Structure 1
Amino acid sequence: MVDSVIGLDALVASLRAAGEPTRLRILALLAGADLTVKDLTTILGQSQPRISRHLKLLTDAGLILRAPEGAWAYYRLTEDDAGARLTDQLLMQLDPADPTLARDRERLAAVQRAHAEAAAAYFAANAHAWDAIRSLHVPEDAVEAAMRRLVGPKPFQTMLDLGTGTGRILELFADLFDRGLGIDASAAMLSVARVNLAKAGVANVRVRQGDIFALPVPPESYDLVSLHQVLHYLEDPAGAIEEAARAVRPGGRLLVVDFAPHDLEFLRAEHAHRRLGFSHDQVSGWLAQAGLDTVVVEDLTPERASPADLTVTLWLGRDRRTLVADGTATERLETIG
């Protein structure tokens, strides 16, 4: 394909950028984690200006990407097909037993342990709020089992999790997709997600900071997009679904998980909930406006079913277009049920 090859000048520039010991070590480190300048100065033992210059050269050559996140910026390997393939080929030639690379991995592990300690402190400070809400609805493992059942066992290429929080939903589906991305507005929660995903050994996922109403992703680029317990925090849930649907590939799916309508006002007053749940027709209507057919709606009700308990509802929408042989999209003639 034309967009997956590299021109002569660009290839030479990429090889020159990668063909230096420190920059090659940086590429090897970024293959295992998204890292900041501070992380890399700690691991590599070099000054901030020197590391920043190496990162600029790699970025200019299209081998890595810079993702601002609050006051920080995280660096990661490029997602461009041609650049990613070139980087993969270069890193495959490296001997993992090389003493320098082994030492870098040890220092990376130490940096990740420090991040884990900070994330654990943040999580502990906020856990009471999440525990209070979890106690009101069916156990999380029941919700996750229902999500897996609705999505099904068939593998797919790409997943986008919006409001990713701790990264749990990406971890839940990691065995099904080739590449996953989590978006969250909170830098603190993204730190938690990075630690959790690394601890779980999930290597095919990255997370980044972003606005759920202006997603930093190309349109029509994900097979599955998820919004798990996100809509009730938003002033404009319909707008969030519309923006999420923009990222869904023809024939792809959008999975929404949230609360059914309820009267627990304390969630609005004490836990920043903007909406007290959503009806079946409300979310299905938003999916339809965004060009998605509602395939399944399912309620999960606590066994006690008291007025103080919450019902969790799952909606699965599917893009009503399908790909044809030439790679273009066409409208399906009938709704998939």
Structure 2
Amino acid sequence: MSTSDVTREGIRGAHPGREALTGAVSTLDGHRRDHPSRRRVRRGEPEFRSYYDKPVLNQIVWEPRDIAGYLFLGGLAGASSVLAAGADLTDRPDLARPLKYTALGAITGSVAALVNDLGRPARFVNMLRVLKWTSPMSVGSWILAAYGPLAGAAAVSQATGILPGLGRTAAVGAAALGPAVAAYTAPLICDTAVPAWHEGYREMPFVFVGSAAAAAGGMGMATAPVEQAAPARRAAVLGSVLETAALWRMEHRMGMVAKPYREGRSGGLMRAAKILTVAGAAGALLGGRNRAVSAVAGAALLAGSACTRFGVFSAGVASAADPKYTVVPQRQRLEERKTDAAISAAKAAASSPSPGPEEPSDS
């Protein structure tokens, strides 16, 4: 008999060591050994592994310096334009001037970092061939294309004194687009399968806007005279509060997917961001009238905002590399759906009328 067969007396024709094993391989001593793709830790939390130890998700290939810098500089530019326009309208030229220069320099650096990561400028230009409202990248490219010339015109007019009226109009236009420039990068990264980004889609825009406001406020505190820097101090404090509250809410709501924001390199960056942001906000509140304290607090706020963006980027890389951040939430959602379906079925069964007693037959 060339194959084994199951009979009443047992297995006949078995060939030890030649049976096909599913999910396991045999060893020389005949004992079962788990296949690496199915291996589990016997105690404690399961060790989530992908097929042949391959990552579940494609790994992030973006250069951290380019993309995290792009996120930070874009937020700084957008918020700086809002503060600069407000300073213009309230007759604070010594505050408006450095913020206009900051907006132009930051948006230039942001676009340069993005183009450097793309590889060549033509790829950025190609994104402007169409406008797709459902694509954060498409919408963001058009926002940058509209915002950049306005920020540039406002800064050049401020520096040269040419066409001051047109320059002020350009500053107001840049301020109108500033919040979008500061916020659109949040849906840009959340509209991905990266767990630490995607799961934070509700709070991430508030984190980015608050971080941008804190950075712009810090720049105003560091560069403007204290007599004119009151709006910058208020923006710094409000932005710090918004960023800190949104981060706290995001980390608590995300559950175990928020671990990369607390552990490893990304956790260290996020802790540094929180410390620097709180210290900068405290300096704005308590020592804003002192020029040296204002400058140090402003520098702390800028550094804190940069650490936030680099920390968020690093957390995304860490979550994409570990299968558990993809597998566990999927299993939890499946279990929740099964539970909800069972509850709905039980409620439907309880609410349906029960059949009455059968009537006696005439026969």
Shorter-chain TM-score: which interval?
under 0.3
Higher helix fraction (1 or 2): 2
With CA pairs under 8 Å and 6+ residues apart, which has the higher RCO, 1 or 2?
A: 2
Question: TM-score normalised to the size of structure 1?
Answer: 0.25
Based on CA coordinates, which of the two structures has the bigger radius of gyration?
Answer: 2
